[in-house]
Amino acid sequence: MPGVEGVINMNEMELMLEKWLDLLEKKKYKELKTELNESNPADIAEFFEEVEVEKRLFVFRLLTKDNAADVFSFMDSDMQAHIINSITDREVKSIVDDMSMDDTVDLLGEIPANVVTRILKNTDEEKRAIINSFLNYPEDSAGSIMTIEFVQFHLDTTVKKAMEQLRRTGVDKETIYSCYVVNEKRVLVGMVSLRTIILSSDDTFIKDIMEDDVISVRTLDDQEDTANIFKKYNLIALPVVDNEDRLVGIITVDDIVDVIEQENTEDIEKMSALIPSENEYLKTSVFTLAKNRIVWLLVLMISGTVSSAIISGYESVLASSIILSSFFPILMDTGGNAGSQSSTLIIRGMAIGEIQMADVFKVLWKELRVGAISGFILAGVNFVRLVLLKTPLEVNMAVSLSLMATVIIAKCVGCILPIIAKKLKFDPAIMAGPLITTVVDAISLIVFFNAAQVFVL
């Protein structure tokens, strides 16, 4: 019996991968086969990323039947499609039979159509029907991430019978730790944890130990809302019901962890003026990357012409003091940064449910004061800097006062725009740094030119 595997850190992982690659290169296949089949499927899936393309099929065939399906389910969709395209129909069938329903559906949603056909051809009719119904759930819905491999009991099942049922069928279920209770119409009426079951005596009825206040979601509910329910109630599984409250599936927390990461990535991308993409950066083509970026760049560039127009409009002011234009970057960038900070906090606060629509005036009042403090300090530092640089006092006054006003306005714009977006049912995340900066730029220029007219001219 080997000892404990220590911490799986980057270095150990890399050492292991190098060792396997070395075995492969030195053609020590028997040793490699033994090593792989004793390792964690997630690690083996990572190993495949390092193996040369033409050797992948060979390495895949070193895996035992059971391990092959496990490793396959940890691969990313490109690798999966590559493997499916290279193996025999019989091997495809063996893998698909062993994969859980939700992994199969995930796979089918992400691979090219010809590979989908190949897999469906090798799936028995019953499973194919289920898969087809799953593929009809909209992306990002609770239905699309649920699994149908759950445990359900009837109201008059006893603990003894429940345990027998678990022993008989439990091995194929996604989880046996949260079990659900349905009535004769398959309507969800309760939930019972395996913990409760094993702490109860054999002849107890499930209906007497179940929780009848079950939290559930519907198939068409949004996956982000579903994730929020997991977070709020600290769940490890959540039942999914149809419009008649019939139990049709469950969602487990490991899938929710992926949803949370995916939703966070989406928010972060939107906040940086990117159209979110589900694909890995390194596997996305240059054209797709460019396409996901160009829309917002164009929108923002064209919005930016407002600032150009403002500057052109005040050409006479500039002409009398060309040096004024050297303060554009500081004013515009500081305003943009101050506004982005506010919008980020508000967007994040709304995303994780800390800030509600009802808080709008509280938030605005807070940002106004934060803006006043920050603006005062920034303007002060800038004033001193310009004094040291012997900039004319009237220019200094115009710049420093504009800076202070810009920061305060930016803070307010930064908190109001995401809230308005939410009110209009847009995703608040689009009202982040880039758009805020464009809006604040125009405002800061107007403020600055007016201040300049008062002080400098």
Alpha carbon separation from 260 to 104, 173, 222, 286, 317 (Å, rounded): 21, 23, 12, 27, 52
Q: How far is the CB of 441 from a copy of itself (least distance, A)?
A: 5
Q: Which is nearer to a copy of itself, 60 or 190 (CB)?
A: 190
Q: Which is nearer to a copy of itself, 118 or 190 (CB)?
A: 190
Q: How far is the CB of 79 from a copy of itself (least distance, A)?
A: 14
Backbone angles phi, psi at 82, to 5 degrees: -60, -45
Sheet holding 188-193, edge to edge: 152-154, 178-182, 188-193
Q: How far is the CB of 203 from a copy of itself (least distance, A)?
A: 16
Q: Which is nearer to a copy of itself, 143 or 336 (CB)?
A: 336
Q: Which is nearer to a copy of itself, 89 or 211 (CB)?
A: 211
Q: Which is nearer to a copy of itself, 123 or 400 (CB)?
A: 400
Q: Which is nearer to a copy of itself, 6 or 424 (CB)?
A: 6
How many residues are recorded in the chain? 457
In the three-class reduction of DSSP (H, G, I as helix; E, B as strand; rest coil), residue 181 is classed as: strand
- How is residue 329 written in tokens? 């970057």
Q: Which is nearer to a copy of itself, 121 or 160 (CB)?
A: 160
Torsion angle of the four alpha carbons 279, 255, 240, 103, in this order, in degrees rounded to the nearest 10: 70
Q: Which is nearer to a copy of itself, 118 or 207 (CB)?
A: 207
The angle formed by the CA atoms of residues 107, 260 and 187, to the nearest 5 degrees, is 75
Q: How far is the CB of 332 from a copy of itself (least distance, A)?
A: 7
Q: How far apart are CA 131 and CA 266, in angstroms?
A: 27
Q: How far is the CB of 30 from a copy of itself (least distance, A)?
A: 20
Query: Is there a contact between 111 and 80 (Cβ–Cβ < 8 Å)?
Result: yes
Q: How far apart are CA 457 and CA 452, in angstroms?
A: 7
Query: Is there a contact between 331 and 444 (Cβ–Cβ < 8 Å)?
Result: yes
- How is residue 218 written in tokens? 């519907």
Q: How far is the CB of 284 from a copy of itself (least distance, A)?
A: 9
Q: How far is the CB of 154 from a copy of itself (least distance, A)?
A: 14
Q: Which is nearer to a copy of itself, 57 or 311 (CB)?
A: 311
Helix axes 101-110 and 113-121, enclosed angle (nearest 10)? 150
Q: How far is the CB of 56 from a copy of itself (least distance, A)?
A: 20
Query: Is there a contact between 226 and 241 (Cβ–Cβ < 8 Å)?
Result: no
- Burial code (b: 16+ CB inside 10 Å, e: under 16) for 348-374 equals bbbbeeebeeeebeebbeebeebbeeb
Q: How far is the CB of 135 from a copy of itself (least distance, A)?
A: 23
Query: Is there a contact between 24 and 54 (Cβ–Cβ < 8 Å)?
Result: no
